[in-house]
């Protein structure tokens, strides 16, 4: 029998708070058959050990993150501009998390992860990476512009 909605939400919140380099907590929260897919590059990471090795071997080292909790109408996580969780939505065994990140070699990125649970553990994460782009001038009359969309926290 699956976990309750509130239990699954708490698991995903702990998981998101541990990303990208809270390796011990991530290991506790991941299913033994954990897989992460990166569809844009065609890569599949099988197992937590491979995930950890990739992040430990990241050129220039894993980016430093500073975690602080904000309390307001809803709890939010805030990290340095290198990795900022924005929002978590979902129910049951499937959740979606949105992040903004700044990579030394790539610059600003939007990141969306679809997180799937089995037996109260994260079994699969599918992550998409997208660079911001300049809005087309031709549609300016019909849109609102955010001055710094990648750094915005909703």
- Does residue 76 sit within a domain? yes
Please give, one letter per residue, the 3-state secondary structure of the chain: CCCCHHHHHHHHHHHHHHCCCCHHHHHHHEEEEEEEEECCCCEEEECHHHHHHHHHCCCCCCCCCCCEEECCCCCEEECCCCEEEEEEEEECCEEEEEEEEEECCCEEEEEEEEEEEECCEEEEEEEEEECCCCCCHHHHHHCCCCCCCCCCCC
- The first and second tokens of residue 20, run together, are 């990208």
Q: Label residue 61 by pLDDT band (50, 70, 90).
A: low
- Within-domain flag for 61: yes
Q: pLDDT value at position 88?
A: 94
Whether residue 54 lies inside any domain: the answer is: yes
Q: How many domains does the chain have?
A: 1
Answer whether 86's CB lies under 8 Å from 78's CB. no
Place of tokens 């050990």: 49
pLDDT for the residue numbered 26? 97
Task: Provide the whole-model pTM.
Answer: 0.77
Residue 101 domain-assigned? Answer: yes
Q: Is residue 142 part of a domain?
A: no
CATH number at residue 112: 3.10.450.50
Q: CA 34 to CA 46: how far, in whole Å?
A: 6
Number of other CB atoms surrounding residue 56 within 10 Å? 11
Is-cis flag, bond preceding 77, omega within 30?
no
Residue 138 covered by a domain: no
Query: What are the tens digits of pLDDT across the range 75-131?
Result: 454 444 467 888 999 999 999 999 888 777 777 888 999 999 999 999 999 999 888
Residue-level length of the chain: 154
Residue 139 belongs to some domain of the structure:
no
Tell me which of 1 and 138 has the higher pLDDT: 138
In the predicted model, is pLDDT for residue 34 greater than 90? yes
């Amino acid at each position: 029998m699956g976990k309750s909605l509130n239990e699954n939400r708490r698991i995903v919140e702990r998981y998101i708070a541990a990303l990208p380099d809270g390796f011990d907590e991530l290991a506790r929260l991941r299913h033994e058959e954990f897989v992460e897919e990166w569809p844009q590059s065609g890569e599949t990471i099988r197992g937590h050990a491979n995930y950890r090795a990739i992040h430990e071997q990241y050129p220039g080292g894993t980016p430093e993150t500073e975690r602080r909790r904000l309390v307001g109408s809803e709890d939010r996580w805030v990290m340095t501009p290198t990795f900022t969780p924005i929002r978590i939505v979902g129910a049951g065994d499937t959740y979606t998390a949105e992040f903004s990140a700044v990579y030394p070699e790539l610059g600003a990125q939007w990141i969306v992860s679809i997180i799937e649970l089995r037996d109260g553990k994260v079994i699969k994460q599918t992550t998409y990476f997208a660079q911001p782009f300049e809005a087309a001038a031709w549609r300016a009359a019909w849109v609102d512009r955010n001055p710094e969309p990648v750094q915005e926290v909703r």
